[in-house]
Structure 1
């Protein structure tokens, strides 16, 4: 396997890269020159301006295309690899029934001021996403979807009432790192409310999370863009049923 690679555009290894950005200036020749200057400082050389359009009053959106000299060292890339088996719904139900001898309890919500429920609904609701049924489809899982704009105290209370094995939190709003602040507040509240070893699994998901930040945010798992209900269900079985957490 190759350990060093370069971006590919027209020919193998030519380093061609396309990027887009917005500058807070109206669209004119000066703006186009500014976009090319920025592209050069980013390492695109030579850079070509392939698209420029004013968006609103005093803002211009650009797409630039150019070659970079940077190399990607694959052996230094750090990612969170899936460390559990991807199971079918039947396998999940069977393992939960055999190992727990009760239903696995899951509570999900969007916390803080976040009102974007598409992500949490895709994982929890019966209809699911991308051809996969949500966790409500799994007969051995008991699911409570609290919806949007749930406060942390409300989430803690629901987890206690439902005797939750796992708490799933979706965060889409990321202005001023709101998703990070909310997650830290949530994890701190659960550690204060539950004794060691009795706390439910804390799982967060959203398009802007860094999956490497579990320890920093005080959660057990972070799922990013493209996560499916099957992945979440398989992880829950891996942690709760198989490990006896």
Structure 2
């Protein structure tokens, strides 16, 4: 039996209306707006209406186009990566680490390469945290080393060895020319070359343009995408580094 079939919602239920934004390398004029409509039509929007157009310098125009699509979504065929570990409170996570490791769990974090956007890594690591949750520095049984922005991969590997890191967290926000993917792959390759697999730290990357399913292709252990909270990251680290490896039973509240 097939699952529910849905259509996009705009003004009324099931009307198929969607809104799309993009930039074309043309000056802002009537020809540019016609080009935007043509592109939207080729993408399946019919009719398509330019509801916003703004010049981005002399040679580019940014558009917002609104229109109807005929495409349907079968919810039974949507693929998602479900969380496979329990969410723990800071108290629960500290207890599992203390019981399983009998020492503090060491986490080294950084933005690598030319990436200077520390908002993401700071939201996960700093005490102030994100979305109402305290960052990893708040956890008594975690030792957090935040290296900040524009850290070279060799420097990250060296520091991870010095700190005897259990896990390395890398945030990548810059995505031009697939910089986030290339950076993650370079980081993963460097750690796998510098460590034997048994002693390699857990490799975790995150950023708004990543998808959880990318981990195998990037060579890392876990990928976190937009909206990830510190509690989710802390719970994963405890699950992967303590519960699974040490056989500690976890009871989440």
Q: TM-score range by the shorter chain?
A: over 0.9
Query: In the alignment, what sits opposite 2:51?
Result: 50
Contact 2:3 2:76 (8 Å CA) reproduced: no
> What is the aligned-residue RMSD (CA, Å)?
1.3
Query: In the alignment, what sits opposite 1:140?
Result: 141
Query: In the alignment, what sits opposite 2:36?
Result: 35
For residues 35 and 128 of structure 1, the distance between their equivalents in structure 2, rounded to whole angstroms, comes to 41
Query: In the alignment, what sits opposite 1:98?
Result: 99
For residues 192 and 69 of structure 2, the distance between their equivalents in structure 1, rounded to whole angstroms, comes to 46
Deviations 1:87-118 (A, max 9, x none): 11111111111111111110001111111111
Query: In the alignment, what sits opposite 2:186?
Result: 185
For residues 137 and 58 of structure 1, the distance between their equivalents in structure 2, rounded to whole angstroms, comes to 48
Q: TM-score, normalised by structure 1?
A: 0.96
Q: TM-score, normalised by structure 2?
A: 0.93
Match of 1:119, SS state, is helix
* Equivalence map 1:87-236=2 (5 Å): 87-236=88-237
Match of 1:53, SS state, is strand
For residues 218 and 177 of structure 2, the distance between their equivalents in structure 1, rounded to whole angstroms, comes to 16
For residues 124 and 69 of structure 1, the distance between their equivalents in structure 2, rounded to whole angstroms, comes to 44
Q: Which runs of 5+ in 1 are unaligned?
A: none
Where does structure 1 differ by over 3 angstroms across 4 or more consecutive aligned residues?
none
For residues 3 and 208 of structure 1, the distance between their equivalents in structure 2, rounded to whole angstroms, comes to 28
For residues 151 and 15 of structure 1, the distance between their equivalents in structure 2, rounded to whole angstroms, comes to 47
* Equivalence map 1:40-79=2 (5 Å): 40-79=41-80
Query: In the alignment, what sits opposite 1:238?
Result: 239
For residues 185 and 59 of structure 1, the distance between their equivalents in structure 2, rounded to whole angstroms, comes to 33
93-102 vs 49-58, which moves further? 49-58
For residues 228 and 238 of structure 1, the distance between their equivalents in structure 2, rounded to whole angstroms, comes to 16
Deviations 1:140-193 (A, max 9, x none): 000100111111111111111111110000011111111111111111111111
For residues 240 and 97 of structure 1, the distance between their equivalents in structure 2, rounded to whole angstroms, comes to 12
For residues 196 and 22 of structure 1, the distance between their equivalents in structure 2, rounded to whole angstroms, comes to 44
Structure 1 residue 60: Cα displacement:
1.6
For residues 52 and 244 of structure 2, the distance between their equivalents in structure 1, rounded to whole angstroms, comes to 53
Match of 2:120, SS state, is helix
Match of 2:46, SS state, is coil
Report how many aligned residue pairs link the two structures. Answer: 245
For residues 49 and 176 of structure 2, the distance between their equivalents in structure 1, rounded to whole angstroms, comes to 31
For residues 156 and 58 of structure 1, the distance between their equivalents in structure 2, rounded to whole angstroms, comes to 43
